[in-house]
Structure formats: C-alpha cells, structure tokens
Amino acid sequence: MDTIKKIPVPICGVALGCAALGNLLQSYSDTLRVFCGVLSAAFMLLFIIKVVVYPKQFFEDMKKPIMASVSGTFSMTLMLLSTYIKAYLGAGDVAFIVWVIAIVLHIALIAYFTMVFMFGLKLKAVHASYYIVYVGIAVAAVTAPVYEATAVGAVAFWFGLATFAVLFMLVTARYIKCPDVPQPAQPLICIYAAPMSLCVAGYVQSVTPKNSIFLLCMFAVASAIYLFALVQLVRCLKLSFYPSYAAFTFPFVISAIASKMTAACLLNMGTPLPWLTPIVTIETVIAVLSVAYSYVRYLVYLGK
C-alpha cells in the first residue's frame, strides 16, 4: 500500500506520453504500439487505484494549481487509450463512451480550474502546466476521426489554438518576470513543446479544408518552441528525480507526431518537404529515449 500511496498525479503524464508514443511508432511496428499502450494502461490503472484507495489525498492535490493542471493528462490519456480499445479489443461502442467521458472530464477540469485558480490569479503561481488544462482538449481533435466526429475535433482544435495564444503570453510573462522556479517544478517548462504541436496534429486530423500556409506557420512556431524545450530538457536532466519528470514525455512525442503529420499532409497537398524526413526520425528517437528514461525513473521511484 505504501507504493500506491506515493503514486503522484503526474504519473498520468507518463501514461499520456506512452500512449502517444505508441501512435508515433505504429508505422514502424504495430507490436510496439500495443506495448506502449500496455505501459500506459498500467500507469493509469495504478493512478485509478490510488484515487480509489486514497481519495482524500487526491482531493487535497486538486487544491494545488500545479497538481490540478497536471491532472488533465488523465483525461487526455483516456482519449488516446480509447482508440486502443477500439483497435485491439473490438469494442467500438465502449471505446466511444470512454472517449466521450474523457472529453466531459476535461471540460469539467477546465471549468473547475478556471473558477478556482484563474480568478485573482497571481503571476508567480502560473506554470507551463496550465497549458494542459486548456490546450489539452485538442487531443479530442487528434482522436476525433476514429469516431467520425471531426466536427467535435474542429471545435476542440480552435479552442486549443485560441487558449494557447492567450496562455503563451501569460506563461511566458511568468517565466520572464518571476524566473525563480522551485526545483521540483522546473521540469514543467518542457511542457512548452506540447501545445502548438498538439494543435498542429489536431488541425491535420480534424480541420477541413486545410491551408498549407497556415499549417506551415503553426509548424514553424511549434518547431521553434520545440528547440527551446529541448534545451530545457538537457538542463533539467541534471536535476534530481521529481514527479515532474513526466514533462519529459508527451511534449517531445507530440512534437515528433506533429512533424510526421505535417510532412504527410503537405505531401498529400502536393507540396512535399523532403527535408522533414530526417527531422521526423531525429525527433522520434528523442521521443523514445525521453519516454523510456522517464518511465524507468518512475519505476525506480515507486519501487523504493
């Protein structure tokens, strides 16, 4: 029970990274996708057990802005894992219900977080994890085609993009004006890589018709932020282990997915960019290494 009690909310972020990694690697091996899905589901199950056994601790965590914002990775992971359920368990109706529940949970989180933490906001309390709450709903745009619900996906994309524009100014102002960040929260800055890349993937998946110039502009912004986050990753790897290591996973996976989807989309639109191929490969390797490293560090942490 000690192991269950110490399971932190950010473990859902690692589960999210694993589920997304499975989608990234599917073109190489369907077996790898299944393996990543199992790893993701295992961490999700541990977290659910933690909430059931120690609900008071969970509700206490939800009173803290960082933990509350990071909790959004739970519903994001559910959206992704629902596609695994449909693909490998043949339970389309169950998968769709899980997907809808996940979206409802995320919308509820947006409402809760806005009411509790965004009114009377103090800049020093803001962290990159705030992106998860608002832009995280764009996972619905990435997964919507599986359920032939691209209209829902398009709404999720535009909401995610709009909130990213606002949050980018807010979060960046926080790190510039209040640069002192407690060490346990420092890895969260890597989340910067996720929101625009997630919007790129959501745009490719759910928005029609597509505009190649608009896509390239979003991809350029995502790539610039990715490079910034990569530098932060190298710096943060020197820190001791903290549950916030979860920030090393999904942001780098979704960035690789965004690059891969952009290349494929532009090819289909008749404007191929061959130089993106090696970039996709490099980003995929970085994604695999970052997820594997974080997952192992979590296993070591839970095993102590």
pLDDT in tens, 39-50: 999 999 999 999
**What per-residue confidence (pLDDT) applies to 283?**
98
DSSP 110-174: HHHHIIIIITT--GGG--TTHHHHHHGGGHHHHHGGGGT-HHHHHHHHHHHHHHHHHHHHHHHHH
Reported pTM? 0.97
Give residue 228's pLDDT band: very low, low, confident or very high (50, 70, 90).
very high
The Cα–Cα gap between 73 and 67 comes to: 10
**What per-residue confidence (pLDDT) applies to 1?**
65
**What per-residue confidence (pLDDT) applies to 304?**
81
**What per-residue confidence (pLDDT) applies to 187?**
98
Portion of the chain with pLDDT greater than 90, in percent: 96
Q: Is residue 97 scored above 90 in pLDDT?
A: yes
**What per-residue confidence (pLDDT) applies to 39?**
98
The pair of structure tokens assigned to 45 is 């199950």
**What per-residue confidence (pLDDT) applies to 3?**
86
Q: Is residue 117 scored above 80 in pLDDT?
A: yes
The Cα–Cα gap between 65 and 68 comes to: 5
Give residue 173's pLDDT band: very low, low, confident or very high (50, 70, 90).
very high
